[in-house]
Structure 1
């Protein structure tokens, strides 16, 4: 599957947001991985990455310990994340990616700048469920699966960013 084109920049920096339910597992994992890949690509001064949750239960809290441990074991810095709730200020982002269909519906549905995260996943066609599964109520294997999904999808996103004219 070819990844969809990224929307043209609205301004500088290019701003990407990831959204899940509580902003303690899936979207912060995507935030941390993308931030790392953006820095590795030399785009840190031209791309801003953030994440939020549709619910406010965890606002101000660090990410789930299991998500942070999985990221740390894979060489990422998960220490700076603090949960935020999705709000109207996100309307001005260049691209917002929802982790599942319920999150997408809660933020107003798909548009040219709002999509499902897995629309960029090179393995999404092989999976009948286009959602990033929520690992919160499961075990460590769920966090490992989500990180693998996030890493391959974020690599495609950052590759697309590197091809945009970001000044």
Structure 2
């Protein structure tokens, strides 16, 4: 069965599209998407510096467009992956009463990292550091799925 995974950050122009791009490159059998808890950038492509940092690693994010997270996403996806605790709380606040789709922090899959969130490079300007952590967490999520662990 194909896994449907949604990656969520605040504006959907840096962290979550990068996470989607990295993950879809590593685990092609999944259906992926990304969204933001805020609607600041709906319809926009990923932020230019994030696209450039991803492109330097061989990843093309240019086909992605920002959208806002919505309660219907709980029914559309098997797993929702938040980039930080604020995003997780904002997602959970929209959970319909009948939905049990798991919502997890992406960094929970970054074995060996002490990070408890993916820092937002829109503010930190550390696009490469963000991608390093995203790649580590994405590899961990792939291993989790390939081992057959429950979502």
User: Which band: TM-score by shorter chain?
Assistant: 0.7 to 0.9
Structure 2 gap segments, 5+ residues each? none
Residue of structure 2 in register with 1:117 after alignment: 106
Given the alignment, which residue of 54, 70, 75 partners 2:37?
Answer: 54
Matched residue, 1:36: 25
Aligned to 2:119: 133
**RCO higher in structure (CA 8 A, sep ≥6):** 1
TM-superposed deviation, 1:77: 1.2
Deviates more, 1:66-75 or 1:151-160: 151-160
- Which residue of 73, 94, 99 corresponds with 2:78? 94
Structure 1 stretches of 5 or more lacking a match?
A: 1-11
Q: d(CA) in 1 for partners of 2:71 and 2:2?
A: 19
Deviation above 6 Å: which 4+ runs of structure 1? 109-112
Q: Name 1:74's counterpart in structure 2.
A: 57
Question: In the alignment, which residue of structure 2 is the partner of 1:4?
Answer: none
The 2-side partners of 1:22 and 1:148 are apart by 20
TM-score by length of 1: 0.79
What does residue 14 of structure 2 align with? 25
Report the 3-state secondary structure (helix = DSSP H, G, I; strand = E; otherwise coil) of the residue aligned with 2:122. coil
Instruction: Give the RMSD, CA atoms, in angstroms.
Output: 1.9
Of the structure 1 ranges 109-118 and 13-22, higher mean CA displacement relative to structure 2 is found in 109-118
Q: Post-superposition shift, 1:158?
A: 1.3
1:134-149 pair list within 5 angstroms: 134-139=120-125, 142-149=126-133
Looking at structure 2, the residues matched to 67 and 150 of structure 1 have their Cα atoms a distance apart, in angstroms, of 12
Residue 16 (structure 2) pairs with residue 16 (structure 1) = no
Partner Cα distance (2:101, 2:65) in 1: 28
Say how many residue pairs are matched: 143
